[in-house]
Structure 1
Amino acid sequence: MEIRGRRDIPPGPLLIACNHIGDADPPALLHAMPEPIEYVAAADLWERPLLPPLLSFYAPIRVRRDGGLTLDTIRQVLEALERGERVAIFPEGGISDDAQLREAREGVGYLALKAGVPILPVAMWGTERLFDDWRHGRRGHIVIHIGEPFRLPPLDPARRREQRAEATQRIMCEIARLLPPAYRGVYANCVSEGE
């Protein structure tokens, strides 16, 4: 595993936003972070065999995959951040089928605006083929690129919907900048030539 940018992680609460391309993403991200993190994870994962005990290590905040963030999920995330914890979320709401960024759900933008904490963009690649590599006796290579933390302007109730969309776009563009071009998907236009 190659980790880039780890030294840039500030102390205190963080909303960690990462692309999602493989089943190994959560444990890989957990390993890359110098301090424990909490995850926002799809509630239906608790219904799969063998997963619930593993999920209890890193995914205590559940979200409905079909309906997005509920008031309870928002409350749990905000409370965790107020306690000074680090909360990770995969803004795309699931694993990308082709390992490219797909349209993010706006819940991440809303959480970021509402919490007012720094956002830490993270990009990873290599996890999409990790299990296939192992099956064929190859050693997998995962790269986790941790970006520069940034803040968004305070939430303006008069512009809530517009600001949520802008915040989500900014977060996803920051993730896209950290990825090789082949992984940028629908956010490829965020990155200028040479970046």
Structure 2
Amino acid sequence: MYEVIHAVVPPLLKAIWRPRVLGLQNVPKDGGVILASNHLSFVDSVVIPSVAPRKVVFLAKSDYFKGSGVKGTAQRLWFEGLGMLPVDREDTQAAIDSLETALEVLGRGEAFGIYPEGSRSRDGRLYRGRTGVAHLALTAGVPVVPVGLVGTERIQPIGSRYPKVAKVTVKFGKALDFSGRGSGVPLGRARREVTDEIMAAIQMLSGQEPAGVYNDRAPDA
């Protein structure tokens, strides 16, 4: 199903939005890699896989995979076709389970997409990154490619039911290698420092104003 959806969706989206894509050469052609991006819109998880030079796996709410009837089946096939995997956000074990799922993806030599902010930004600022991204990078020993999205919030503004045509830019930064960063310092400190470096790289690409705090809004995208 991925091959079918991916053969149709990316060309269609590129024809409609004509995104400006920079730095594709920075994404490794093979091997495990993390694509860490800012998060502005529900469509971010469609835009990135559509322009990336290889398959990118994202996690999505398990509710999207549980619908019944024709609509539910179509929705499930759509998300599966985009390479997304279900995660139960209401489960207290969700965070741990999602990290384990991500490590499995990286262990298979695939690309995993993550939003260190946790939830999409509702005011356009870049929120402080949570350290799950550093946990993945240090545990799996894979590089991190920072991604800066610009303009995706205009495709489907908060409260809008249908997408709009808007100018979008996707910037893939140079891969960050954190090999050996977890040795000689407390693990918590290492994860915090790595996460902050990743967020700084994302900010340079996106040009967003740093919020300096965590985004504590309930995740809805």
| TM-score normalised according to structure 1 size | 0.81
**Residue number in structure 1 paired with 2:79:** 55
The reply to whether residue 7 of structure 1 matches residue 31 of structure 2 is no
* Contact 2:33 2:144 (8 Å CA) reproduced: yes
SS at match of 1:3: strand
Structure 2 residues without counterparts, runs of 5 or longer: 1-18, 213-221
Distance in structure 2 (CA, Å) of the matches to 1:47 and 1:78:
24
The amino acid across from 2:197 in the alignment is R
**Residue number in structure 2 paired with 1:176:** 203
**Residue number in structure 2 paired with 1:90:** 115
Distance 1:127 1:85, change over 3 A: same
Distance 1:43 1:90, change over 3 A: farther
**Residue number in structure 1 paired with 2:170:** 144
The reply to whether residue 122 of structure 1 matches residue 175 of structure 2 is no
Deviations 1:112-131 (A, max 9, x none): 11111010100101110113
Deviations 1:150-185 (A, max 9, x none): 1113333861111111111111111011122xx232
SS at match of 2:58: strand
**Residue number in structure 2 paired with 1:38:** 57
Structure 1 residues without counterparts, runs of 5 or longer: 188-195
Distance 1:5 1:137, change over 3 A: closer
* Contact 1:19 1:101 (8 Å CA) reproduced: yes
Q: CA RMSD in A?
A: 2.7
| TM-score normalised according to structure 2 size | 0.72
SS at match of 1:151: coil
User: What's the % identity of the aligned pairs?
Assistant: 28
Q: Which runs of 4+ in 1 moved over 6 A?
A: 134-138
